[in-house]
Structure 1
Amino acid sequence: MCDCTPSNAKGWLGWNVPAGSPVTTAAAGPWIDLSHRLDSQTPRVPFFPAPTLEKIRQIPEHLINATRLTLVVHTGTHIDSPRHLFNDAPGLDEIPLSRLSGTGLVWPVDTGGHALIEPVHLEGAKTHLAPGEMLILNTGLHKSVGTPGYEDHPYLSQASAQWLLDQGVKLLGVDFPTPDAPVSQRAPGFNYPIHRALLANGILIVEHLTHLDSLNGQRVEVMCNALNITQGDGAPVRMLARPLVG
């Protein structure tokens, strides 16, 4: 994550947000896939290589098709575990499943052309969100994947990170590359302050979401299907959501 060598890779403060309760409200409608397809065009930050898919067995030369996938785990729709920033924090294999599933809210965000997402853009979600739930932000940027505009994305202010902590959000999902500042705006020594604030307190982060428009403003049931990677700092995710009734 960082282009510099940190002086201290410790900083895990624990699961300081609740895990939430099991889903008790009925869900309606089909599951919606919020994930980008995984191929060489999958969205990623510029300093990570594109995924490669290599056919190592192929019909008719062989009796089976088999593909070797090579990728950085922080490519495409993926989750960041606390281990991403802190060596003393849990990896993906240590994250309780209750933190990867549950209820939440898809919230539309219009910054009016400004880069920063401030608490004023989130405050309307407060009455629809309970502690221990997930918040998924839809800025509409998922429609710009593959364009320069996708790299010049909005990002959270420090005040918005604190707002998420104050609400007890257990997982933040975004339809852009990262809740931290775009790569082009990072000064030397940049240390991922938003990732650091959220992950240190157990707020998981899912990046590069898509297909959110039909869920705007709705409470949803969410399944965050992440690969169970030992000591994983991140993993590809097939994230699914469907509306809740009532």
Structure 2
Amino acid sequence: MALLDISHQLWPGMPKIPILPEVERHQVASIADGAPLNISAITLALHVGTHIDAPAHAVDGAKTIDELPIERFAGSAVVAKVDRKPGEEITVDDVLAGGPAPERGEFLLVATGWSEKFLSGDYADHPSLSPELATWCVEQGVPFVGVDMITPDLPVHRRGAGFDFPVHRTLLGAEVLIAENLTNLDAVAGQRVHVHAYPLAIRGGDAGPARVVVETLAETGGTR
């Protein structure tokens, strides 16, 4: 097996949506200042960087990230390669053309290549999943959807009045988990892989920062 990290690092000043506070890192104790150990602390919103959305993010009273069983965060996945422009919707046909069809119980990771823009302003203007694709995922029994974009919904500046996050509401309303801000998906595009996407078990959290890793079959490239 070969391991591939598909998560972004966390650092002060990293890209984020405007409504979220900046990531901050604090030095609590320093060996250079006479402390016996180095100790630092970090302050961040739960939706900065690579993270997993819990159902409670979109549905009041739904499960929080700590209430989900650990089995929900690992499984076989299809990585669909999709080529769409900013503001365009990613459809069911796009996903089926981009890799094997996910079987019931398999995760779906959507590789758009947008993570290459993570450090530029262009990252905020991305494609989005169509509401029909979200509904299809629920109907197909896909339990987990991951994207290499800041959100599977429309970019902030393309939302009209009354926008209600239809992709989030459809997926999370059916307890289909969402991973956002993935990276390196192009390396496994069109393949089947095994995903490990374990978020921090933050009590009452509507999301959890995560280190997401995929296993590929070294001899076959992960296909089957």
Mark yes or no: TM-score above 0.5.
yes
1:204 is matched with 177
Size of the aligned set, in residue pairs, is 218
* Equivalent in 54, 65, 68 of residue 95 of structure 1: 68
Per the alignment, do residues 74 and 113 of structure 1 end up closer, same or farther by CA in structure 2, a change over 3 Å counting? closer
Which one-letter code corresponds to 1:56 in the other structure? V
* Equivalent in 23, 36, 39 of residue 11 of structure 2: 39
Would the aligned equivalents of 1:36 and 1:42 in 2 still touch at CA under 8 Å? no
Report the Cα offset of residue 234 of structure 1.
0.4
2:117 is matched with 144
Task: Trace 1:86-235 onto structure 2 (pairs within 5 A).
Answer: 86-111=59-84, 115-124=88-97, 127-235=100-208
1:12 is matched with none
Would the aligned equivalents of 2:11 and 2:23 in 1 still touch at CA under 8 Å? yes
Report the Cα offset of residue 122 of structure 1.
1.3
Would the aligned equivalents of 1:126 and 1:167 in 2 still touch at CA under 8 Å? no
Per the alignment, do residues 166 and 125 of structure 1 end up closer, same or farther by CA in structure 2, a change over 3 Å counting? farther
* Whole-angstrom distance in 2 between the partners of 1:182 and 1:114: 7
Task: Trace 1:71-90 onto structure 2 (pairs within 5 A).
Answer: 71-90=44-63
* Equivalent in 41, 45, 49 of residue 21 of structure 2: 49
Which one-letter code corresponds to 1:52 in the other structure? E
* Whole-angstrom distance in 2 between the partners of 1:231 and 1:47: 21
Would the aligned equivalents of 1:52 and 1:70 in 2 still touch at CA under 8 Å? yes
* Whole-angstrom distance in 2 between the partners of 1:80 and 1:158: 17
Report the Cα offset of residue 125 of structure 1.
5.6
What percent of counterpart residues are identical?
37
CA offsets 1:132-191 (integer angstroms, 9 cap, x no match): 111111100100012121100110111111121122111000000001111111223322
Deviating beyond 6 angstroms after TM superposition, the runs of 4 or more aligned structure 1 residues are none
Would the aligned equivalents of 2:87 and 2:125 in 1 still touch at CA under 8 Å? no
SS at match of 2:170: helix
* Whole-angstrom distance in 1 between the partners of 2:15 and 2:141: 29
Which one-letter code corresponds to 2:96 in the other structure? E
Per the alignment, do residues 186 and 54 of structure 1 end up closer, same or farther by CA in structure 2, a change over 3 Å counting? same
* Whole-angstrom distance in 1 between the partners of 2:130 and 2:194: 27
SS at match of 1:60: helix
The TM-score, its normalising length taken from structure 2, stands at: 0.92
- Greater displacement, 112-121 / 146-155: 112-121
Report the Cα offset of residue 47 of structure 1.
1.3
* RMSD of equivalent CA atoms: 1.6
* Whole-angstrom distance in 2 between the partners of 1:228 and 1:119: 32
